[in-house]
Chains A and B, each alone.
Chain A
Amino acid sequence: MRPSRLAVLGAGHVGPVIARLAIKAGYPVAIATSGDPDNLALITELMIPGAQPRWARDAVAEADIVVLAMPLHRFGQIDPGLLNGKLVIDAMNYWPATEGVIEAFEHGGSSEIVARRLAGSVVVKALNHIGYHELEDRARPAGAPDRRAVGAAGDDPAALATIAGLADRIGYDPVRLESLRAGRVLEPGGPVFGAVLPLDEFEQAVREDARSFA
């Protein structure tokens, strides 16, 4: 079976980190911004060796898994049709304190709002709650004593299993949350946002948070 192909949309703080982790784990990775891939050539050569800079539509067309790693206020510029039929990882956050208020995201979980707009895609919320530097530094192979956990939340069990497998391959113990709504626990202000916890502490923190039962 050929490995899943990833398209990472966004080449700011988060995108290159996820791309590097995925390449290291053996995934073919294309990376794209809203602009010309020529502008990404130096960045990929020096900072994400092995990734293919592409136009967003080309990267997505060939991908099995699309990672949304752009600032949330840019999400509205994406054509939802482009992502039809794709498995989408939403690694974005709605975080008014750092990016300002976005009216469309003021009510409800941000990934639920993303999923409503991407009606033709299957959305899993993941890789959003660990800082981008730490996401890279704390990745460990399976079984390492200091391995940490990441949460993955989604309504589609098969998609969730796929992304949990990806999280495991890039270096984290996956914790599955069985709906996007339950994934609100991974958002800014929640108990695991910004924290890099071992599996048992992560599970306990999520259990203790009332929103995970909502």
Chain B
Amino acid sequence: MTYTFGLDTFGDRNSDADGKPLSHAQTIRNVAEEGVFAEEAGVDFFGIGEHHTEYFPMPAGDMVLASIAARTERIRLGSAVTVLSSDDPVRVYQRYATLNAISGGRAEVILGRGSSIESFPLFGYDLADYEELFEEKAALFAELVKGGPVTWAGKTRAPLIGQDVVPHTESGPFPVWIGVGGNPQSVIRAARLGFSLALAIIGGPPARFAAYSQLFQRALEKFGRPPLPVLVHSPGHVAATDEQAKAEFWPRWRDIITVMAPERGFAIPTEESFDAETGPDGALYVGSPATVAQKIATNLRVLGASRFDLKYGMPGLTHEQLMTNIELYGGQVIPRARELLG
């Protein structure tokens, strides 16, 4: 199996060394720098997740990806995720087909139903409709990425009749994944539509997702499709030592989860729960390069996955801490994980 390794960001708002938050604009410029540096460091993929909050000021990540594309040669670039439910699939296709053009065929999209729900009221969608919105829009997106005239009708947007949607890609469809949290029916949907599977594992033992990976491959067989890759997306932070990585990450993690807990139903983290999540059976990849590489290799094997995307950063970390994280991830974690995976 060929393994690839990525980095994802939500545009986590940076602070300076004194803990003072940087502006949204500076944070966005820093993300662009980090994406360019990720290629230098040896990372295969750089993803930007759509968010609309004060602490994740990243609603138009595709524009940042385009700026990174113009300054890089090799690294693949994509969303992580695009909240398709509150967007127009035609526009999403057009934006990423444009990114694909600028980058010379390096674009990818990870579609999400939107567990970050702030985009629904912002764009005038009713959260109660999220299931229908995502189902319809994902099906339309599957038609759009095939290329060629699209004929489609549904309830969530105007119909298309033999519509030629531009720009055309140069070499067929770009990779599309569906992000899945823990709903087996979402896994079946990804297989039915012929999208690859992105497992978002943000808490608890990763091994429990092995069944989702098996379900995906069996469902692909059932729908008469060839095998497709599975990727794992999880949060983490790499520093020189385990102690340093934890000391930098813990207060930022505690603070942001505490802010998000009421709206997302997360339990407030404790030092005990943090130790469990950063341990061998937890979902956080926080530690030295050796610790993180070992955990990645173990879990890719257990989960039958061929790509790992580390969601790096947290609101309140500094740009310099993130650059060190990227350097260690590209320079040490990835080579070590490849070695462990043989």
State the A residues within 8 Å of B (CB): 11-13, 16, 33, 39, 42-43, 46-47, 71, 73, 95-102, 131-134, 136-137, 188-189, 193-196
Contacts and interface: CB of A to CB of B under 8 A. Distances in A.
B284 to A, nearest CB: 14
Interface stretch (B17-25, B201-209, B292-300): B201-209
A194 B208 contact: no
B182 A13 contact: yes
Contacts of B341: none
A100 B185 CA distance: 21
Nearest to B204: A133
Contacts of A193: 265
Contact of B128 (A47, A100, A194): A100
Contacts of A134: 204
Interface stretch (B36-44, B215-223, B247-255): B215-223
B275 to A, nearest CB: 16
B178 interface: no
A46 B188 contact: no
Given A47-B215, A97-B263, 7 more contacts: A33-B185, A43-B184, A99-B127, A100-B120, A100-B126, A133-B203, A194-B266
B339 to A, nearest CB: 32
Interface residues of B, number: 33
Contacts of B185: 11-12, 33, 43
Nearest to B131: A71
17 contacts: A12-B183, A42-B188, A42-B218, A46-B211, A47-B184, A47-B215, A96-B127, A98-B263, A98-B265, A100-B120, A101-B127, A102-B128, A133-B204, A133-B208, A193-B265, A194-B265, A195-B267
A46 B214 contact: yes
A98 B263 CA distance: 7
A131 B264 contact: no
A195 B115 CA distance: 20
B117 A42 contact: no
The 3 closest A-B pairs by CB, nearest first: A100-B127, A100-B128, A97-B263
A141 to B, nearest CB: 20
Contacts of A194: 261, 265-267
B172 interface: no
B116 to A, nearest CB: 10
